[in-house]
Amino acid sequence: MSDERARTWTLRRGEPGYPPALLDLGTDAPGRLFGCGNRTLVGGLELGHTVTIVGSRRPSSYGLRVAEDLGRLLAAAGLVVVSGMARGIDAAAHRGALAGAGVTLAVLGSGADVVYPASERRLYRDILSSGAVISEAPPGQRPEPGAFPKRNRIMAALGAITVVVEAAQPSGSLITARQALKLQREVGAVPGPVTSRVSEGTNDLIADGAAPIRGAQDVLDRLLGVGIEAIRRCGPPLEPELAGVAEAIELGSRTCDAVAAASGMVADGVAVALARLELLGYVQSDPAGCYSRTTLIPPES
Amino acid sequence: MLASARTFALLGIEAREVQVEADVASGGLPSFSLVGLPDPAVRESRERVRSALVNSGFKFPMRRITANLAPANLRKAGPSFDLAIAAALLAASGQLPPERLSGIALAGELALDGSIRPVPGILAMAEAARELDTEAIAVPAPNAPEAALAGEPRVVPLVRLEQLALLGTEGEPLAPSGPIWSADGADPAAPDLADLRGQPYLRYALEVAAAGGHSVLIVGPPGAGKSLAARRLPSIMPPLSRSEAMEVLRIASVCGRSPGPDTPTRPFRAPHHTISTAGLVGGGSPPRPGEVTLSHRGVLFLDELGEFSREALEALRQPLEEGRVTIVRARHAIELPCRFMLVAASNPCPCGRGEESGECDCQPASTRRYRAKLSGALADRIDIAISVERPSAEDMGAAPTSDSASVRDRAIAARQRQERRLGAGRCNAEMNLVELRSSCGMDEKAAAMLANGHARLRLSGRGHDRVLRLSRTIADLEGCERVSGDHVARALTLRRRGPD
């Protein structure tokens, strides 16, 4: 653990790099935050591009699947997925985000360098490879019972929307939802079977007026506007030929041959164009050599 | 009386000299014992020899007979010792002048009626006989053209055991001439690339693979033409050189496929995914060549890569890296050559329909596991990865664009450039780090593009080298000395991505 402690950093309230979203907690905002991993991610968090996903530590397979899908699709859309790395829904959301090649942020109740639960050591390492782990507790602090409800307020403040995937009554996840409401953040809940104990809390939330979350698009509709599928950023300008290839990829061509057929270019030229587009960040390829568009959009000409 | 005859035992694809000593002793009860580590098939040789001698008009001596196969520590297997045992016995019993057997090697299986049956591995034996400066080798007549491939020694084709008496006399059966191979080594019966409709990029990937000897992974749904394409790869590879052809024929001969008069072509092997590790890399006792050796100088096609067992794929590592496989057994270790091009094909997901098709009902987790397998075991040995889709209706109706011959001519030209740089018989896929650095002269644009790729695409060290190798081959195909930006760009698109 010592090597992780060596790499912990500290963010102080009022100093640059401290996430502005936490200031909404007023006097309750943590004075110091300790973290491991990608420090600039934490400082650069934009409220409006974050989603907090929480839920039961003993979820059903339905809950696990929904949490993983939400994490994956939302991260792929460019949102930062915030959760608590607890067993169950939290871990599934982190895992999904990593599978979506996105970044994810874990807020711990123990010290940021203490892996709790210990069974999630691998997930912890994966999160650190691109994202970050933060905590209000000093490095080396073992988990204590009172720490978790306090940690929940940080998660609630960091997320533009807090989505509860599955929660029994009563539940720590519902505390997070309540704190999000107090901060005037949005709260969403994934509907579940009325016969399932772990869906009692979420169904109650919906009955009380929380947004029903049927899939990633419901979250994106609320954060980015109805029908927008991803956060889009502007890329460098494109030559007409490259723009044509990028458009063919956007319209569903995934291989060189398909782009060549769609655009009328020779396959050879398409290969060159795709490599250049990938270097510019407009397209990405999977290990099998299948191309897809990234969220980058060309500048208006 | 004592007499001996020379024959060979096969070990892997090598033939080792074996001396058959026969002693016909007077006194004691009549018996026939065979010593010198014979396996059951060799021990049964006694019964075949006895019947064959009697049925060919010779006498089987009713004495105490001992036949010894020397060296005694080498395990002998198979029926190819019959002929030499019979010859030694005839000489020892005074029915054949012993000097006729000096300077001659014999191999063949006897039938009970005295006729001689063909045996595997004759080419390897003839080559070994040549190394030993043997004057002649007597072989079953069906194996004679194969033995003639070795050039020397003189080949004596035998049909029946009686003909042993003619050895070294005027009446000795005439040696056949070796087959005459066509100069360009093209196999007119091989499937042609013209059968592949549309899919110009897939053709291009195959062309680069053939030109540089790069291994390929093709990913796509069933019906996308993956195995159709793979089967046509040998037809666009440069023809076998004389020495390569002899290696290929010798392996085929040891495995019991006696080479015909046709010009040898590059082997294409497509083992089923249920194959065992030993079947793939070779094994068993005595060790037999596996599919990797059978595809030496040709193509090993692994369809449904994800379905092969992990052990089998792991075992491919050493062969791919070193071009040879070493099989160690309790009694001996043998080394088999296996310089092959690997072509692997896979579906995009376990059900084969592909996530994006909308018809796929695979769990994301199982798809992830399936893909992890593709990027696991062998990935670092595969240079090219390409995704293909089913050709459209227009593609299927389109006229063929180019046939194998034209693509092959380009590949041959590219290989010649590589051989000038790297030495005979070598290709870009085998370049080591030093050769890679020294041979890939890049212009400024190419260097900038590669540096950009390093930063943006997070290329690993190996990924970087892979792009260099591929761009070198692409430049060779176009006849360029220096690697340009476009060459690097094409290599970036062709390269296999993912972990190393």
> Are the Cβ atoms of A290 and B497 closer than 8 angstroms?
no
DSSP B176-207: PPPPPPPSS---TTS--GGGS-S-HHHHHHHH
CA nearest to A277 within chain B:
B489
Give a yes or no: residue B415 inside a domain.
no
The answer, yes or no, to whether residue A50 has pLDDT greater than 90, is: yes
pLDDT confidence of residue A31: 92
Closest Cβ–Cβ partner in A99, A256, A281 for B493 = A256
pLDDT confidence of residue B358: 65
**Could you tell me the pLDDT band of residue A198, with boundaries at 50, 70 and 90?**
very high
What percentage of chain A carries pLDDT values higher than 90?
Answer: 58
B325 and B218, same domain (yes or no) = yes
B321 and B467, same domain (yes or no) = no
pLDDT confidence of residue A6: 53
Task: Decide: B338 and B319 in contact? Cβ < 8 Å.
Answer: yes
The answer, yes or no, to whether residue B34 has pLDDT greater than 80, is: yes
Task: Decide: B487 and B471 in contact? Cβ < 8 Å.
Answer: yes
The answer, yes or no, to whether residue B366 has pLDDT greater than 90, is: no
Mean pLDDT computed over B114-136: 93
CA nearest to A262 within chain B:
B392
B440 and B356, same domain (yes or no) = no
pLDDT confidence of residue A2: 44
pLDDT confidence of residue A1: 45
**Could you tell me the pLDDT band of residue B182, with boundaries at 50, 70 and 90?**
low
> Are the Cβ atoms of A99 and B217 closer than 8 angstroms?
no
What's the structural domain count of chain B?
3
Q: Is B202 at the interface with chain A, CB within 8 A?
A: yes
Taking phi first (over 0 means left), then psi (-120 to 50 degrees means alpha), and beta for anything else, what does residue B324 get?
Answer: beta
Chain A residues within 8 A of B219 when measuring between CB atoms:
288-290
B71 and B25, same domain (yes or no) = yes
Task: Decide: B443 and B357 in contact? Cβ < 8 Å.
Answer: no
B293 and B250, same domain (yes or no) = yes
What percentage of chain B carries pLDDT values higher than 70?
Answer: 95
Give a yes or no: residue B188 inside a domain.
no
The CATH number assigned to the domain with range A2-224 reads: 3.40.50.450
Angle in degrees, CA B42, B46, B49, rounded to 5:
110
Closest Cβ–Cβ partner in B201, B364, B457 for A267 = B201
pLDDT confidence of residue A194: 93
Q: Is B492 at the interface with chain A, CB within 8 A?
A: yes
pLDDT confidence of residue B186: 67
Taking phi first (over 0 means left), then psi (-120 to 50 degrees means alpha), and beta for anything else, what does residue B114 get?
Answer: left
pLDDT digits (tens, 9 = 90+) for A202-236: 999 999 999 999 999 999 999 988 877 777 777 78
Mean pLDDT computed over A18-27: 91
Task: Decide: B351 and B397 in contact? Cβ < 8 Å.
Answer: no
Structure ipTM over 0.95, yes or no = no
**DSSP three-state, residue B431:** coil
pLDDT digits (tens, 9 = 90+) for B237-253: 988 888 888 899 999 99
B87 and B150, same domain (yes or no) = yes
pLDDT digits (tens, 9 = 90+) for B266-286: 899 999 999 999 999 988 877
User: DSSP character for B430?
Assistant: G
Q: Is B371 at the interface with chain A, CB within 8 A?
A: yes
- CATH code for the domain in which residue B480 is found: 1.10.8.60
Chain A residues within 8 A of B456 when measuring between CB atoms:
278-279, 281
Give a yes or no: residue B256 inside a domain.
yes
Chain B residues within 8 A of A95 when measuring between CB atoms:
none
**Could you tell me the pLDDT band of residue B38, with boundaries at 50, 70 and 90?**
confident
Q: Is the pTM of this model over 0.90?
A: no
> Are the Cβ atoms of B201 and A260 closer than 8 angstroms?
yes
Q: Domain range for residue B267?
A: 193-404
Task: Decide: B215 and B343 in contact? Cβ < 8 Å.
Answer: yes
Chain B residues within 8 A of A294 when measuring between CB atoms:
none
Enumerate the domain spans of chain A.
2-224, 233-297
Task: Decide: B414 and B236 in contact? Cβ < 8 Å.
Answer: no
Chain A residues contacting B, CB < 8 Å?
A: 68-69, 72, 99, 254-258, 260-261, 266-268, 270-272, 274-276, 278-279, 281, 285-290
The CA distance from B468 to B68, in Å, is 59
Chain B residues within 8 A of A255 when measuring between CB atoms:
201, 386-389
B113 and B218, same domain (yes or no) = no
pLDDT digits (tens, 9 = 90+) for B130-159: 999 999 999 999 998 888 888 888 899 999
pLDDT confidence of residue A207: 95
The last residue of a domain, from among B166, B181, B210: B166
CA nearest to B448 within chain A:
A279
Min distance B116 CA to chain A CA atoms (Å): 55
Which tokens in the block code for residue A35? 């973290």
pLDDT confidence of residue B66: 94
pLDDT digits (tens, 9 = 90+) for B378-423: 777 788 989 888 887 777 777 777 788 888 999 999 999 999 988 8
Angle in degrees, CA B157, B158, B163, rounded to 5:
130
Top pLDDT among A195 and A235 is at A195
pLDDT confidence of residue B445: 87
> Are the Cβ atoms of B371 and A288 closer than 8 angstroms?
yes
Min distance A218 CA to chain B CA atoms (Å): 21
Considering the domain delimited by A233-297, tell me its CATH architecture. Orthogonal Bundle (1.10)
Min distance A84 CA to chain B CA atoms (Å): 22
B253 and B363, same domain (yes or no) = yes
Residues 6+ apart with CB under 8 A from B139: B106, B107, B108, B122, B125, B126, B146, B147, B155, B156, B157, B158
The answer, yes or no, to whether residue B60 has pLDDT greater than 70, is: yes
Min distance A149 CA to chain B CA atoms (Å): 32
pLDDT confidence of residue A67: 96
- CATH code for the domain in which residue B352 is found: 3.40.50.300
pLDDT confidence of residue A192: 94
Q: For chain B, give the mean pLDDT.
A: 87
pLDDT confidence of residue A228: 79
Compute the CA torsion angle B407, B410, B416, B418 (nearest 10 deg): -90
Compute the CA torsion angle B307, B311, B312, B317 (nearest 10 deg): 120
Task: Decide: A84 and A230 in contact? Cβ < 8 Å.
Answer: no
Query: Which site among A249, A290, A291, A292 would you substitute to test the B interface, given the most B Cβ atoms closer than 10 Å to its Cβ?
Result: A290
- CATH code for the domain in which residue B42 is found: 3.30.230.10
Top pLDDT among A171 and A226 is at A171
The last residue of a domain, from among B387, B404, B421: B404
Give a yes or no: residue B420 inside a domain.
no
Of A3-7, A42-46, B123-127, B404-408, the range with the lowest mean pLDDT is: A3-7
Q: For chain A, give the mean pLDDT.
A: 89
B390 and B477, same domain (yes or no) = no
> Are the Cβ atoms of A268 and B385 closer than 8 angstroms?
no
Give a yes or no: residue B185 inside a domain.
no
> Are the Cβ atoms of B489 and A276 closer than 8 angstroms?
yes
Top pLDDT among B174 and B105 is at B105
User: DSSP character for A51?
Assistant: E
**How many residues comprise chain B?**
500
Give a yes or no: residue B274 inside a domain.
yes
B348 and B475, same domain (yes or no) = no
The CA distance from B318 to B305, in Å, is 18
Task: Decide: A123 and A131 in contact? Cβ < 8 Å.
Answer: no
Residue position matching structure tokens 């007026």: A209
pLDDT confidence of residue A80: 94
